[in-house]
């Protein structure tokens, strides 16, 4: 697991609770899970850390004059910034997986059940799914009437970690921390079994920003007046949305190593093009000095011609332009192999495989088979997350369905509907029509029923 050595029992046994929490924050920032989350975010933004420090060794000539007035020259080797070309594979994979399963939202059985999860829950769920794939987990905090996204890794100064019960393994507390930058004060939001509190660090000491707030308050009126009473909650209102059964980021070593290799090849190829993009001249039978060569090349660049090249010996001198041809066949083959391997390892859909006018829906479904298998494993986690939220609201139901974003030949679907038209009713035919949205179908059905009445 990714959690720090600090557990719920560690917190309870600590004499200085504030110092214990601060130590937990520092331990979490130094954990492999947090560092991997930052790396995954960088790859998602198209910033490859593996090529971010790439340099190219260049030679330069340094001339100097000694005490006797003689000119001396020496060669110095130095590193200069090279081309740093990063690819967008990881962003493409994560976006495709998250939107394929969660882009059309979730359908929850039971009248009014989904409405209890708050407005824009589908959008929140899709955003959480993307964060979970990046970092391995994203936490949902049920804040009175809506789900609040709590990212496990946000930036180098912000994140969230749970405190696990050593006995049962469940989450008993949670600590969310953030800073604007390294010089800004550290702020904490601590989720305890009965409520939440806000703290701020000042000189190594945690000071309260707001009073302790219970998760639920009940208004009670009596002859003495109205008062708010804290109501106990049966569970901590924090539900994890895991990326997979392994509970880790989808930026696995297999994916990352191939992306790094791909980006290095592209970067090196760009450097080679930079070094070979100029014409160089071969001066035959030219016995002049370096200054003479510079003068000849300057004349060629200005006039695009030169009348005579001679060293004074009577032998004819010639100048021939040459260019460097950069080999690319091996690199091109390597890039294609890496790209194919990346799509296979991530089980993503390469759109190049389904382009063309001759593909049937059977062929399209075959091309999407790996993505469907990947989405199945992700759906287990999305299902568990939604069920966990509904359990907090005492609205548990097993009727939780996700409508995937399918790719199909819509003209073929229309032809199949026409073939089946004698066996299905009009409403079913309308609902199968890919050109009609569900709300449009319902409006058409309701309009016909009103006219029939």
Burial degree of 217 (CB within 10 A; 0-12, 13-18, 19+): middle
Report the percentage of the chain scoring pLDDT > 90: 39
Name the pLDDT band for 86 (thresholds 50, 70, 90). confident
pTM of the model: 0.78
Task: Round to whole Å and give the CA distance between 120 and 128.
Answer: 12
Average pLDDT over residues 169-194: 92
pLDDT, tens digit, 9 for 90 and up, residues 378-410? 999 999 999 999 999 888 777 899 988 876 656
Which residues, including other chains, have CB under 8 Å from residue 376's CB and lie 6 or more apart? Answer: none
Q: Judge whether residue 241 has pLDDT over 90.
A: yes
Query: How many Cα atoms sit within 13 Å of 326 on the Cβ side?
Result: 15
Residue with the larger pLDDT of the pair 88 and 277: 88
* pLDDT of res. 49: 85
Task: Round to whole Å and give the CA distance between 194 and 182.
Answer: 32
The domains of the chain are located at 8-44+87-252, 280-322, 410-453
Q: Are 133 and 96 in contact (CB under 8 A)?
A: no
Q: Judge whether residue 441 has pLDDT over 80.
A: no
User: 3-state class of 216 per DSSP?
Assistant: strand
* pLDDT of res. 255: 95
Eight-state DSSP code of residue 356 = S
Q: Judge whether residue 438 has pLDDT over 60.
A: yes
* pLDDT of res. 122: 93
Mean pLDDT of the chain: 81
Task: Round to whole Å and give the CA distance between 347 and 373.
Answer: 8
Task: Round to whole Å and give the CA distance between 349 and 175.
Answer: 37
Name the pLDDT band for 95 (thresholds 50, 70, 90). very high
Name the pLDDT band for 118 (thresholds 50, 70, 90). confident
């Amino acid at each position: 697991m990714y959690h720090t050595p600090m557990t719920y029992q560690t917190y309870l046994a600590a004499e200085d609770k504030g110092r214990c929490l601060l130590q937990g924050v520092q331990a979490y920032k130094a954990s492999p899970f947090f560092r991997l989350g930052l790396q995954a975010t960088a790859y998602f933004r198209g910033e490859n850390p593996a090529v971010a420090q790439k340099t190219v060794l260049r030679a330069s000539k340094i001339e100097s004059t000694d005490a006797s007035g003689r000119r001396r020259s020496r060669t110095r080797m130095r590193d200069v910034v090279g081309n740093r070309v990063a690819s967008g594979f990881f962003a493409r994979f994560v976006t495709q997986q998250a939107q394929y399963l969660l882009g059309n939202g979730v359908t929850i059985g039971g009248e009014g059940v989904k409405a209890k999860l708050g407005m824009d829950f589908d959008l929140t769920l899709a955003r959480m799914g993307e964060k979970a794939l990046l970092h391995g987990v994203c936490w949902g905090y049920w804040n009175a009437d809506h789900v609040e996204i709590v990212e496990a890794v946000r930036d180098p100064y912000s994140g969230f970690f749970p405190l696990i019960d050593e006995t049962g393994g469940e989450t008993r507390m949670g600590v969310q921390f953030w800073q604007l930058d390294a010089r800004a004060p550290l702020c904490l939001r601590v989720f305890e079994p009965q409520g939440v509190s806000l703290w701020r660090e000042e000189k190594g000491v945690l000071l309260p920003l707001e009073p302790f707030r219970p998760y639920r308050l009940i208004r009670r009126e009596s002859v003495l007046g109205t008062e708010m009473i804290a109501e106990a909650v049966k569970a901590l209102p924090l539900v994890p949305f895991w990326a997979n059964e392994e509970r880790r980021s989808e930026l696995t070593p297999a994916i990352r190593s191939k992306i790094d290799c791909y980006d290095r090849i592209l970067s090196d190829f760009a450097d080679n093009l930079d070094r070979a993009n100029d014409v160089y001249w071969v001066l035959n039978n030219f016995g002049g000095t370096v200054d003479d060569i510079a003068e000849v090349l300057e004349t060629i660049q200005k006039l695009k011609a030169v009348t005579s090249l001679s060293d004074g010996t009577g032998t004819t001198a010639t100048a021939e332009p040459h260019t460097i041809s950069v080999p690319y066949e091996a690199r091109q083959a390597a890039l294609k192999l890496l790209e194919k391997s990346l799509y296979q390892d991530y089980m993503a859909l390469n759109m190049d495989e389904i382009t063309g006018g001759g593909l049937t829906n059977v062929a399209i479904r075959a091309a999407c088979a790996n993505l469907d298998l990947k989405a199945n494993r992700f759906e287990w986690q999305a299902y568990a997350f939604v069920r966990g939220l509904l359990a907090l609201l005492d609205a548990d139901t097993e009727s939780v369905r996700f409508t995937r974003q399918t790719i199909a030949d819509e003209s073929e679907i229309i032809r199949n509907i026409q073939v089946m038209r004698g066996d299905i009713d009009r409403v079913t035919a309308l609902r199968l029509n890919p050109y009609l949205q569900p709300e449009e179908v319902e409006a058409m059905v309701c309009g016909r029923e009103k006219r029939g009445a």
